[in-house]
Structure 1
Amino acid sequence: MTDSNKKHTFREGFEAHLESPIPLLTRVGSFIFGKKIPDSYTKISFYLGMAIWTVFLVWIILGYMVLTNTSWIEAEKGLDIHKLITTRGTELGFSGDDFQNNLILFYNVAIIAWAGIFVGLALQWRKNRYFIYFIWAAGAVYLLGMWFLLGFSYWYNDTTLFDKIAFFFLIGHSGLHYYFLRKELLGEKVNFFGIDEQDENE
């Protein structure tokens, strides 16, 4: 193959690569999650965690967008968002714009916290036992951030039962997954990871 043909082939391949994001996404996915596919239990745990992560992240982003675009929403929809937020803040013991400012700050903290949880989920997929520290630490930042910035009453009254159950399910199930993963890494026989238990007398 001549040099001109090689250059032509390379250019065609490069252009085809640029036209489709799939190869890039595949490489990014391999970099984050690794190339090894984990066992069924780990995959189920990961998918459940990602479902919860997606729900929370979507609500956080939507809430942040509403709070930072109150003037536009009021102009377009005629809904006084600022007044609604201020009224609810007064009921929770805040004054003036303190509640809205704290909400915006909390959403920033929450985005960082759930980014940390995503790192934990990626490590969980890789079956790295350090995943638990990311999920629990980031989860603590999220929950304590809400309590300190918005108050326990806000968490108790203004977050849904689904939010509470989903959050503590993620934390609790992560602990259970860590327990079985640690047993597997120590060489103990478990069956949650596709390792067949055998009679020790055999």
Structure 2
Amino acid sequence: MTGTGSDFWGDLAGRLQVERDLLERLRFRYVALDLMVEAGEARFLGWALRDLDRARLKVREVDLARAADVARLNLKGARGVPSLREVAAVAPRPWSTILRDHHDDLSAVVTEIEVTAHRIAQHGRDGLAELARTGTVGPRRPEPVLAAADAALVTGGGAAVMAPEVARLRAPGTADAIEPVAIECLLHDVIAAAGRLRIPALLAFLR
């Protein structure tokens, strides 16, 4: 086994921290997309999908660098490429503990991403079914959106205070109608994106 100086372990732990941070940002993108699809909010799906793709590419880039770091160990794992558990087992203290903590944290984030992606795909299929049935997609839990209300100055006891008018309501998305064909394309893109996590090297590393 080579490349096992203190600098190596510090660099590997730092690389895993960066990967964890990027995965957490990717998790945020998945959760945001899930909420939009569940709410039937089609206006911003294109932006959300592009943000998710960028976050996923960043994770893949740093995972390639992580894999190159691990390859420097020349350590043979039970299935060829060593897992993070196997790397931690040969690391000196305190790095062994730090690497095991990274394993637990990374595994938890990846598991949540996979669960959220599965939920997104189901919501996307539900949206397509609703679109075919009704010609549109709407919120699954309808809640009126408060529009910004005008405010009036009133005088009370010599002091000027703001007295808001009764809030006006508007239905979500009515100002930005989207054609059904465009919504259908977006929902297909959503379902495809939910199945594109596919970071096999990372999943094998965390087994």
TM-score with structure 1 setting the length: 0.29
- Higher RCO, 1 or 2 (CA under 8 Å, sep at least 6)? 2
Q: Which has the higher helix share?
A: 1
TM-score with structure 2 setting the length: 0.29
Q: Which has the higher strand share?
A: 2
